[in-house]
């Protein structure tokens, strides 16, 4: 049992979030602008997001965000269809975005690999850009969360939400939304 007043690893990582978010805001701008430009250029029929665990919860936020702010139709993938069941749904005309902290989730990687094979625009959001997922995607958005040691995701979850918000903003700039993003690390 931890000694009184000692902090858990999870609590320590939660306390790192303002600095991590500030760093991600700065470092993420250029790659996110590139991804937004690619999405605008390809004019996808919709966005398919593949994720597991806490990343899947972040994807639910992204679904609401992109449908409301960007008028994109968004679907959440069932990665096991691609990985476990070896299904190959038609992804032609979609932008496929996969989210994985480690970039090593086999079924999430299989969604990106299938999408790329079909000519879809593929984007990986990961904390490990040199991972299997990062290598499989056309574009990589790094979470910039640093090493995460606790089992529950904290920094990578928060930076996933931030990356989605930044991508939405880059696709449809709005002054108030931009100002709100800049305030996030200060909260």
pTM of the predicted model, to two decimals? 0.92
**Burial environment of residue 45 by CB neighbours within 10 A (0 to 12, 13 to 18, 19 or more):** middle
Q: Sorting pLDDT into bands at 50, 70 and 90, what band is 187?
A: low
Q: Comparing 145 with 169, which gets the higher pLDDT?
A: 169
The Cα–Cα gap between 50 and 172 comes to 23
The Cα–Cα gap between 175 and 157 comes to 25
Structure confidence at residue 16 (pLDDT): 85
Structure confidence at residue 117 (pLDDT): 97
Least confidently predicted of 11-20, 77-86, 103-112, 161-170: 11-20
**Tokens found for residue 17:** 């979030």
Domains and CATH numbers, the chain: 15-186 (3.40.50.10490)
pLDDT in tens, 40-93: 999 999 999 999 999 999 999 999 999 999 999 999 999 999 999 999 999 999
Residue 1 CA neighbour count, 13 Å, CB half: 2
Q: What is the mean pLDDT of residues 119-130?
A: 97
């Amino acid at each position: 049992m931890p000694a009184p007043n000692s902090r858990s690893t999870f609590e320590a990582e939660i306390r790192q979030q303002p600095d991590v978010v500030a760093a991600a805001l700065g470092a993420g701008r250029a790659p996110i602008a590139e991804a937004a430009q690619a999405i605008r250029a390809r004019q996808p029929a919709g966005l398919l997001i593949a994720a597991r665990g806490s990343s899947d919860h972040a994807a639910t936020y992204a679904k609401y965000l992109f449908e409301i702010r960007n008028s994109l139709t968004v679907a959440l993938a069932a990665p096991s269809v691609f990985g476990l069941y070896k299904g190959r749904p038609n992804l032609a005309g979609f932008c496929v975005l996969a989210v994985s902290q480690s970039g090593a989730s086999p079924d999430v990687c299989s969604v990106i690999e299938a999408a790329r094979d079909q000519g879809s625009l593929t984007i990986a959001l990961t904390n490990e850009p040199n991972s299997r997922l990062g290598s499989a995607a056309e574009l990589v958005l790094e979470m910039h969360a640093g090493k995460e040691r606790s089992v529950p995701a904290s920094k990578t979850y928060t930076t996933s939400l931030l990356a989605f918000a930044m991508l939405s903003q880059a696709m449809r700039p709005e002054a108030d939304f931009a100002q709100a993003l800049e305030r996030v690390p200060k909260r």
